[in-house]
Structures are given as structure tokens and as C-alpha cells.
Structure 1
Amino acid sequence: MLEPDLTGKIALITGATGQLGRVMAHTLADCGADIVVHYHANRLQADKLVAELTRMGRRALAVQADVTDRDSVFAMRDKVEAVLGMPQILVHNAVIQYAWKPILQQDPGDFDSQYRSCVMQTVYMAQAFVPAMQAAHYGRILVINTECAALAEAGCGAYTAAKRGLDGLCRCLAKEVAEDGITVNQIAPGWTITERDRDANTQVQPDYDRQVPMGRRGTDAEIAQMAAFLVSDLASFTTGAFIPVCGGRVMPAI
């Protein structure tokens, strides 16, 4: 049976302690990958996730870093390399979130912070980890974007601006590293059902659901399964892609 095989690979997931991050960590581990659990503040959740992954028979390491700070990202690289080795897979999932407001009401600092957590995270991660991928002539970079980047709806100007900037950066990076056997792709989830929704029984959101051709919200598992495909060799000739996983709410045109 054809399935993503990540055996022998090391995957670093930023924001791995978050709702989606934890599911992606388990999914990539299910496919055979060892996992670097990046966290910013939630050490308890990071340690819990490492224990879960270890019980699955995978090597796992929790590493703290501020992905908006270059020195912190490079320090993370050094620790990962010393303990597990250099990752072949990067999943850029961490992001700073703010309350959505009209642009005229949004604190200007929010725009800068969103940019740093989206665009500069990817710059620093690339500068830290891509040289080893180039030396190995192999690498997979997956960036979590959002349907909001395509929809550009009212009230999410800071978030949309940062994610659109991220999209442009990823397309440039994909072209710069393609000849080195490195792919760079993006997933654009919609409003995703996570553990938080299941606990609160808020999976159904009629106002949003009626805007989705498939009539429902997607799940964290559905996002993670697309992630597993894109970082596997099943997607070895796919790079520079922006793939909505949102039930058809966004359909990029050609």
C-alpha cells in the first residue's frame, strides 16, 4: 500500500506544542519520523509530547527558541544537531496571533510582530537549516499559511499582510533551493477543528460552514495528513505550491 514513509528522517516542527502542531507531530511520527518539538513557552506540553512520541518508538527532543530572533533559532539548530542530527524536514507552524481588528484600530506593533513571526521565522529557519540540506542534496520545507491570505477579508489586515508576505518569500525560496533537491511548499488551512473544539463541542459553526462548498470545517488530522504527504517522497516533484486545505472555500485560479 502506498503511504508516506518518513523512516530515518528527522522533522523539526515549530510551534509543536500548539493544537495543530501536536497532531502534526504524531502524524509524522506515525509515518516513521523522529521529531524535534520546538516550543516557545509551554515546556510542560513539550515534555508531555516528547514522552508520547518516545512511547511510539521515535526519538524526540524538546527545544526552546524564539523563532523571531535569529540568534535563538541558530542556538536551536546547534542543540538539535548535537543531540539528533540535522533535520531533513522543517515544518514552520509557529505564529503569534492577535485579536483581529479593523486596520484603523489595530496596534501598529501588531503588524510588525505578525511579520516577524511569519516571514522572519522562515528567513531565520532557512538560514540556519538549509545549508545542511544543500550539502545533503535533500530537504523538505513545509510552511503553514492560511486561507486568509487568499481571501483578504475585512478585520484581519495584520494577519493577512504577514501571511501574504510569507507566500512571496516561500515562492522565492522554492526557486532558490530547487536545484539542491529541496522542496518548499505551503498548506493553507481554513478554520480548523482541533482538540479545543472537541472539548467545547464547537465543531459546527453554521455561519462559516455555509461558506464552505463541502459544508463543514476541516480537522487537524486532515491538515496533518496533507503535511505528511508534502514532506514525503510522494511529493518529490512538487515545490512552490500553495495548497488550500479548506473544503473548497479557496480555489486559486490559473
Structure 2
Amino acid sequence: MKIDLSGRTALVTGSTGQLGRVMARTLAQCGADLVLHYRGNEAKANELREEIRALGREAMTVQADVASLESVHAMQARVAAERGSVDIVVANAVAQYQWTTILEQPTADYFSQFETCVMQSVHLAKTFVPDMIGRGYGRMIGINTECVMQNFPTQSAYVAGKRGMDGIYRILAKEVGEHQITVNQVAPGWTISEQDRTNRTERNEGYESSVPLKRRGTDQEIANVVAFLASDLASFITGAYIPVSGGNVMPAI
């Protein structure tokens, strides 16, 4: 048994980010062709495209503002013209900002999180799900966070956006399930990335002490779960919020 995405096309938003690039590579290694979305880092997107082509898979880059329905529609039109249908959508893009307390957090940061968490999810659904319904197949995968279960100080804007995203994904799962479209979320913990390896910041004893597995997870471990949910091995899983956090957060029944 293996994860086989041969014949599938996957879109990863925010593909040039620390997690996005590993997800894209992993989906390609499983046999998928890739649509690599970026907002501003065209050079990294082009570099990633060549990496994926070197793996023997097709890849294209596309620029879009996921906070704009018009921009996402334009992205889909270009993908349809050049690649055809998208089978797997991974919503990974999110605005970056400086975290601080609610009293000090600029209100603009709450709007940016709403736009790139909630509205990105809505825009991607409105744009890509209708074609999935027509084909009776699709995978919608949102990248959430363990933070929505922690509610620690300074997390408010991020948690607000991701909790809103959670509601969209759970309801979408119920609305499109009859068409054999699965809708799930992966919730990373504080993950070791390429940047951590470069800066030698992989270890954080304070955080690790709270994790049952006593370590931080890796970007590859997050990407593995995304690939699983994208595959037919996960064909009867939908509406799930799956922490990949070494047990640091545990949804209760």
C-alpha cells in the first residue's frame, strides 16, 4: 500500500512558504502534477517549479491574491486553460504579521487574517469546487494550526482567522460530501522548517517539554498527512481537524 496521486493535479496556495514548498514536493513525489501559487515571491516559485519538473512531474506557477475572489477566479481560468481540472486544493497561504496582545494588536491584522484564512477558503471553494462536483471527485485540504486549541496570549488574530476557517471547512464538508469531495484540515504544531535547519533553531526545550513526544515535528511530517488526505487512502475521511503536533493538543469527544 502506498500513496499514489498519479493522474491528479494539486494546487498549493502559498507554495513558496516554509511548509508550502515541502507539501508541493511531497505531492509531486507521490505522483501529482502541481500548480504552485505565490503572492509575491516569483523567483522561489520558479525555483520550486524546476525542482518538481526534475522529479518528472508537470508544474506551473501562478500569481494570485487569495483575499480577492476576482484574482482567484483569474488563477483558476489560467490553470484550466493550461492544465485542465484541479483535483486537490491545499489552502496553505496566510498573511504574516507581528503577534502582540489584543489591546496592542492593530485592527488591520485581524482583517488580514480573516481575508487569508476565512475568505481564502470561501474563494477557493467557490472557484474550484463546482468543477469537482461535475466530476464527482475532489480533495479540499486546509492548513489550520494547533493554536486554535491553545488560545495563548498574543495569538488572537491568528486564532480568530483560523477558527473562522474551521467553520467554513466543517460546513463545506457537509455540503459537498454527496459528490465524493472530502474536506479536511491539517493542524501543525510548532514545526521545524528549512529556515530552522539553516539557522540551527530546531530545538526549543520549553515547547518540547509540553509535547508528549518531547520534540517538535518536521515540515515533512506535516506534508505526509497532507499527502495522505489527498489520496484515495483517505476516501472516507471528511470534516476532520487533524493535529500533527506530537500530542500537544488533543481534540476531545
Shift in Å, 1:58: 0.5
Aligned residue in 1 for 2:237: 238
Within-5 A mapping of 1:74-223: 74-223=73-222
Aligned residue in 2 for 1:25: 24
Q: Give the match's secondary structure for 1:57.
A: coil
CA RMSD of the aligned region, Å? Answer: 0.5
Alpha-carbon distance in structure 1 between the residues aligned to 2:153 and 2:77: 41
Aligned residue in 1 for 2:62: 63
Shift in Å, 1:230: 0.5
Deviation track 1:50-91 (CA, whole Å, cap 9, x = no partner) reads 111111111100000000001000000000000011100000
Structure 2: which amino acid aligns with 1:185?
N
- 2:49 matches 1:39: no
TM-score by length of 1: 0.99
Structure 1 outlier segments of 4+, above 6 Å = none
Alpha-carbon distance in structure 2 between the residues aligned to 1:49 and 1:85: 21
Aligned residue in 2 for 1:49: 48
5+ residue gaps in structure 1?
none
Deviation track 1:127-150 (CA, whole Å, cap 9, x = no partner) reads 000000000000001000000011
Structure 2: which amino acid aligns with 1:171?
R
Alpha-carbon distance in structure 2 between the residues aligned to 1:9 and 1:191: 30
Q: Give the match's secondary structure for 2:90.
A: strand
Alpha-carbon distance in structure 2 between the residues aligned to 1:164 and 1:154: 16
Alpha-carbon distance in structure 2 between the residues aligned to 1:73 and 1:143: 16
Alpha-carbon distance in structure 2 between the residues aligned to 1:143 and 1:30: 20
Structure 2: which amino acid aligns with 1:64?
Q
Aligned residue in 2 for 1:4: 3
Q: Between Structure 1 and Structure 2, how many residues are aligned?
A: 253
Shift in Å, 1:238: 0.1
TM-score by length of 2: 0.99
Structure 1: which amino acid aligns with 2:24?
A
Structure 2: which amino acid aligns with 1:170?
Y
Percent of residue pairs identical: 55
5+ residue gaps in structure 2?
none
Shift in Å, 1:97: 1.7
